[in-house]
Structure 1
Amino acid sequence: MAALYSAKVARAKTLPALWLISDARNDAALESALARLPRGSGFVFRHYHLGAAERGERFATLAAAARAHGHCVILSGSAALAQDWGADGIYGPPTALGEPCSLLRLATAHDPHEIALANSAGADGIFLSPVFSTRSHPGADCLGEARFRALAAQAAAPVIALGGMTAQRASQLDWPRWAAIDGLS
């Protein structure tokens, strides 16, 4: 157990500050976006719109492009699939993270209940969203800066701001870690 804790602390210290998240709408721009990101950034591959075989092929292509620039590669999927595909970690709701393992385990959260679930799951990082209005969740209530900070304060792991994020909004929010779909593509 001590070894898992030490590994968790080390992973949290090296968790990238900037994350690009894949989506059907930014697919055509992903290779160039990955090339523009600062070395050592993070990339979350989702691509839920693809069938299994096509998704695996697209992951392999984008993972190679990401690694060519020194980026961390995370798969939205199970730990078993992430290990099979050679990902550095997994991304998803706290209830889908499974048991602690050698992979980074990054949870999604939108409210206090999901923050508590991510804490209980021992997530290595938490994508908290939507901070601002976003095309991913049209018409959804946004957290805004004050609510984002209040929820982030409840997290046991580093929090990554997501939802309507751009470099300008990240600067405005003055938060050390942020992610975007459109804002980085």
Structure 2
Amino acid sequence: MSLQRQTLAAIAAELNRTNQHHGSETLIDLPLGPALYLTDTGVHPDPVQIPDRLPATSVVILRDYDHPEREVLAARLAEMCQRRRLYFFVGGDAALAHRVGAHGVHLPERLIDRLPRLRQTYQTFLFTASCHSARALLRAERLGADAVLLSPVFPTHSHAETFSRPERTLGACRFRTLCRRSNIPVYALGGLNVDTAPRLRQSTLAGLASIRGYEG
């Protein structure tokens, strides 16, 4: 089946199967699935509806850092993910992740340096991190991140200026280069949809992360 005719979740799974590091057990050992959904209530007012459309072992990350009822939303997402056999991460708040029974914590790039201390405290958690450069990717790897979200790959509504200034994106070629250099799993993020995602063939990626791409 042509990748362009599939859903983004199906494309993520296909790219994961065909782009794995040959001879490396890194991706094999990581339990997380290739489809990763990040919440944004400005885009989806009720993000609890989205995980129901994802295949088992997919990943849901609660962003919405300033949500007035973030703990309530986290608890609802945790319950949904448990029922659907999905992995649930809370962005930037390990204590909240622990309270709602999440599988781990997602760290924005500015918080990556907290990772070693957090891992000592929450030894059963998995940790992902956002990275926007080769330097950040290397730092996340050195500090022990289990996986990274590398962005923005393509122009994205989350950073509207990238549509007029595409040089502010990584692009497929640069993403592939950084992905190959990484010794930990890399998820692509930024401007991913059924038209752009197939351009990431041969990039050794772990999967596709998206705010809008898993709507259907």
Amino acid in the other structure paired with 1:39: A
Alignment of 1:157 with 2:187, yes or no, is no
Spell out the pairing of 1:46-61 with structure 2 (5 A cutoff): 46-51=63-68, 54-61=69-76
Counterpart in the other structure of 2:19: none
**SS across alignment from 2:157:** coil
Distance between the aligned counterparts of 1:12 and 1:48, measured in 2?
30
> What is the number of residues matched between the two proteins?
176
Distance between the aligned counterparts of 1:17 and 1:148, measured in 2?
17
Counterpart in the other structure of 1:16: 33
Q: CA deviation at 1:152?
A: 1.6
Distance between the aligned counterparts of 1:84 and 1:73, measured in 2?
13
**SS across alignment from 2:129:** strand
Alignment of 1:39 with 2:56, yes or no, is yes
- Higher RCO (Cα < 8 Å, 6 or more apart): 2
CA change 1:129–1:123 in 2 (3 A) is same
The 10-residue stretch of structure 1 (26-35 or 99-108) with the greater mean CA deviation from structure 2: 26-35
Amino acid in the other structure paired with 1:36: R
Distance between the aligned counterparts of 2:194 and 2:46, measured in 1?
18
> Alignment partner for residue 211 of structure 2, among 157, 167, 181?
181
Distance between the aligned counterparts of 2:144 and 2:183, measured in 1?
8
CA change 1:49–1:80 in 2 (3 A) is closer
Distance between the aligned counterparts of 1:84 and 1:68, measured in 2?
17
Superposition RMSD in Å: 2.1
Amino acid in the other structure paired with 1:89: G
Q: Do the aligned residues in 2 keep the contact of 1:97 with 1:107 (CA within 8 Å)? A: no
Alignment of 1:110 with 2:132, yes or no, is yes
Gaps of 5+ in 2: 1-24, 163-167
Spell out the pairing of 1:46-125 with structure 2 (5 A cutoff): 46-51=63-68, 54-92=69-107, 93=109, 94-99=112-117, 100=119, 101-125=123-147
CA change 1:10–1:159 in 2 (3 A) is closer
TM-score using structure 1 length: 0.86
Identity over aligned residues, as a percent?
31
CA change 1:126–1:136 in 2 (3 A) is same
TM-score using structure 2 length: 0.74
Distance between the aligned counterparts of 1:103 and 1:13, measured in 2?
13
Instruction: List 4+ stretches of structure 1 deviating above 6 A.
Output: none
Q: CA deviation at 1:98?
A: 3.5
Distance between the aligned counterparts of 2:194 and 2:85, measured in 1?
20
Q: CA deviation at 1:10?
A: 8.7
Q: Do the aligned residues in 1 keep the contact of 2:41 with 2:47 (CA within 8 Å)? A: no
Amino acid in the other structure paired with 1:13: L
